[in-house]
Structure 1
Amino acid sequence: MPRNSPSDARRGRRAAQEGARPSVQDVAKLAGVAVGTVSNVLNNPDRVTEFTRRKVEAAIAELGFVRNFAARTLVAGTTNTVGLVLVDIGNSLFVDIARGAEAATAASGLKLLLANSDVDQAKQDAYLELFDQAQTAGLLLAPLDGPLDAARAIARRGRPIVVVNAPAADPDMCCVAVDEQLGGYLAAHHLIAQGARRLAFVGGPLHLHAIRDRLDGARQAATEASLDLTVIETHALNVRDGRTAGGNLLRQSRRVDGIVCASDPLAVGVINAAAERGVGVPDDLVVVGYDNNHLASESLIPISTIAQPGLRMGEVATQLLLEETQNDPDHRHQTVVLEPHLIARRSSQRRRPTTNRLRTP
């Protein structure tokens, strides 16, 4: 084992004082150990005695040594990081997905790098390429409702990638999705159980797979109850579009008494439109939103909503990714579909819900 000398220690301290980046060799000299011992302290501390580990850690602290992950990546071929690209960090569903992924990566000794594409295809593809070039251990992608060409290309180059909250299976990647049709069904069925007989669906654009599936589910529930379903397509899922759609519906001569909204902000807008026209929620109109956004519980009238299992989605996606990064021989690309659930709040709970004769208009 190398012997520490005053000159070695002075050189290491001088390098730190002069702004030079201390090296592993500087740490080893100051601690009086071999370079391999420093490496073990950093990567396999269980292989080093506590006395030696403390010496090395003291030298690291004194020199201000920072690990060079770029150099480590060149040797190992990958980093101990996982990249996550989210479509919209402002949506609480994607925040939950990130939290689930962070918990799962941390439990496996990995770090999570997060990027927000901000509903921009070019930014999404650029972040995917950036994480691929950084040689992350793998990638998680909660994508836009659009082409996944960049993700597929990365997967085919050998970088494991799992898609979260996407519509369909892909032969090159694992996927974690939610049964959106079930969510729409639960929302409409709940309103019918509360006595609603003139139903409407508010949401859009309808070319988005999630919105279309939610509409299909609501239609199924209405058909089972022999009810019609009016559809109002919106340009976006925000409060303003909800207010406009709600106003249009409530001005009709045969006014609706139950509205399924494809998002919680839309539900807020619908309820605002009802208040402006003196329509009581939930006595005259029952409303259900979607996603369990913070707006749902914090609204003046707490909004019933369809909650998606965001935390579980992030956890499951990370587990699938780790299986692939560990070259598990039993790993096969698969699509895992999770179920949403209804959270009933004041916006849809009438004092005397009508639960009988659901198939009668």
Structure 2
Amino acid sequence: MDSCPVSEAIISGTTKRGNDAPRPSMADVARLASVSLGTVSNTLNNPDKVSDSTRRRVLGAIAELGFVRNDAARSLAAGTSTTVGIVLADLGNSLFVDIARGAETALRRRGMNLLIADSAIDIDRQMNYLQTFEQARVAGIILAPLDSAIIEEPTRLTSTTPVVLVNYESRRHVYSDVVTDERRGGYLAARHLLDLGRRRIAFVGGPLFLTAVERRYEGARAAVDEVEGATLEFIETLGVNIKHGKQAGRQLAAASRPQLDGVVAASDLIAIGLIQVFEETPGFSVPRDIAVVGYDNNHFASESSIPVSTVSQPGEEMGGVAAGLLLDEIWGRAKSEKQTVVLPPTVIPRKSTLGDAWRRD
């Protein structure tokens, strides 16, 4: 492979490799993901032949090691425009893995390569990856950003490289973007509980300044307001991870009996944390006493001890649409005005709301 100092920093897991450090190989990826070389190759070239769980494991290993395909690295070294970078907020959330898969499929169909970077919920790391991709002269960048006003300042992202946002709406229409209807998702989650006869509902999530959390809460509020006698309590958390769900769960469990019969969680991780606490608390049986709906359809939501009902976002479709919008900009076919594409979410009912009426496929 041609020498390319810039490309050596692409998709670094935690630190940049020195010039003398060996570049990670497909064999390294296979070892870390505990799969065969053939499985790594299929993930990159024939993804339909690989199961979802295996594909996520391989993509996670690629991001952690900083593996760069030979053809992608060569195009960067030559300064050609056949490579697109994608910067994801958190590869620990399978939504972003699905977004990467959808983008990669759409780009490869058009003869383009995709390099993946994980900002790991770190704004400085996100900005460093954007700068690195621009210095590497990628053709364009797909960004699934952290919720930050920086995104509305074009000069803070890149100076010349086309950018399309995914899972974030540009409020000032600085960029084209692809999002799901978060209000609709919150509405569907609460409506699912209401249709099951639940009337004392809580929305658990936060911080509320996060756009997605705010809109999901607004949707849940609208659904509850439609049903006479139904109530909605808001329990704000400091984040959307399992530990935040556990903290909220302990707060609710401090009551001698449930004051609620349903919970809309702002994320699957919060839902899992809540359920873990409820399982250990007498009188809080899920879903007999209290039903729980999560959000995101993380792959482990269906694999927890009590499979979690959830609102699913079409991650692969989001990635594919974002790639199409970006290619239109790269190839000069974009409309003069920036576009926002809004995709619909769906509810996936599981045991955390349906109980024994739900059966695993």
Is 1:262 aligned to residue 266 of structure 2?
yes
User: Which aligned pairs between 1:45-64 and structure 2 lie closer than 5 A?
Assistant: none
Equivalent position of 1:285 in the other structure: 290
1:156 positional shift? 7.4
Q: Deviations over 1:96-124 (max 9, x none)?
A: 11111111111011110111111111111
Partner Cα separation in structure 1 for residue 293 and residue 203 of structure 2: 10
Which of 313, 321, 330 is the matching residue for 1:316? 321
Partner Cα separation in structure 2 for residue 134 and residue 171 of structure 1: 26
Partner Cα separation in structure 1 for residue 172 and residue 72 of structure 2: 40
Is 1:113 aligned to residue 115 of structure 2?
yes
Q: Which letter maps to 1:224?
A: E
User: Which aligned pairs between 1:161-240 and structure 2 lie closer than 5 A?
Assistant: 161-226=163-228, 227-240=230-243
Unaligned runs of 5+ in 1: 1-64, 353-361
1:147 positional shift? 2.3
Partner Cα separation in structure 1 for residue 288 and residue 280 of structure 2: 15
1:125 positional shift? 1.1
Partner Cα separation in structure 1 for residue 224 and residue 242 of structure 2: 25
- Give the TM-score, by structure 1 length: 0.74
Q: Deviations over 1:59-110 (max 9, x none)?
A: xxxxxx999545632xxxx421001011111111111111111111110111
Equivalent position of 1:34 in the other structure: none
| Distance change >3 Å, CA 154–CA 160, structure 1 → 2 | farther
Partner Cα separation in structure 1 for residue 345 and residue 115 of structure 2: 27
Question: 126-135 or 249-258: which moved more?
Answer: 249-258
1:332 positional shift? 4.0
Which of 159, 162, 178 is the matching residue for 1:160? 162
Q: Does the residue aligned with 1:287 lie in a helix, a strand or coil? A: strand
Contact 2:242 2:270 in 1 (8 A): yes
Contact 1:306 1:343 in 2 (8 A): yes
Unaligned runs of 5+ in 2: 1-70
Contact 1:202 1:234 in 2 (8 A): yes
1:154 positional shift? 7.2
Which of 139, 142, 166 is the matching residue for 2:141? 139
Is 1:307 aligned to residue 309 of structure 2?
no
Contact 1:162 1:321 in 2 (8 A): yes
Q: Which letter maps to 2:251?
A: N
Which of 97, 100, 110 is the matching residue for 2:99? 97
Contact 2:244 2:273 in 1 (8 A): yes
Equivalent position of 2:82 in the other structure: 80
Partner Cα separation in structure 2 for residue 248 and residue 67 of structure 1: 51
Q: Deviations over 1:128-169 (max 9, x none)?
A: 111111111111000000023587127774321101111334
CA-atom RMSD, angstroms? 2.4
Q: Does the residue aligned with 1:248 lie in a helix, a strand or coil? A: helix
Partner Cα separation in structure 1 for residue 300 and residue 356 of structure 2: 23
1:321 positional shift? 0.5
Contact 1:323 1:331 in 2 (8 A): no
Partner Cα separation in structure 1 for residue 258 and residue 287 of structure 2: 18
Contact 2:76 2:137 in 1 (8 A): no
Partner Cα separation in structure 2 for residue 82 and residue 262 of structure 1: 31
Partner Cα separation in structure 1 for residue 186 and residue 101 of structure 2: 25
Contact 1:98 1:311 in 2 (8 A): yes
Q: Does the residue aligned with 2:114 lie in a helix, a strand or coil? A: strand
1:295 positional shift? 2.3
Contact 1:181 1:217 in 2 (8 A): yes
Please identify the structure whose Cα radius of gyration is greater: 1
Contact 2:307 2:351 in 1 (8 A): yes
Contact 1:128 1:151 in 2 (8 A): no
Identity among equivalent pairs (%): 46
Question: 112-121 or 147-156: which moved more?
Answer: 147-156
Equivalent position of 2:275 in the other structure: 271
Q: Does the residue aligned with 2:294 lie in a helix, a strand or coil? A: strand
Equivalent position of 1:294 in the other structure: 299
Q: Which letter maps to 1:288?
A: V
Equivalent position of 2:347 in the other structure: 342
| Distance change >3 Å, CA 350–CA 193, structure 1 → 2 | farther
| Distance change >3 Å, CA 234–CA 329, structure 1 → 2 | closer
Partner Cα separation in structure 2 for residue 211 and residue 175 of structure 1: 18
Q: Which letter maps to 1:206?
A: L
1:247 positional shift? 2.4
Q: Does the residue aligned with 1:322 lie in a helix, a strand or coil? A: helix
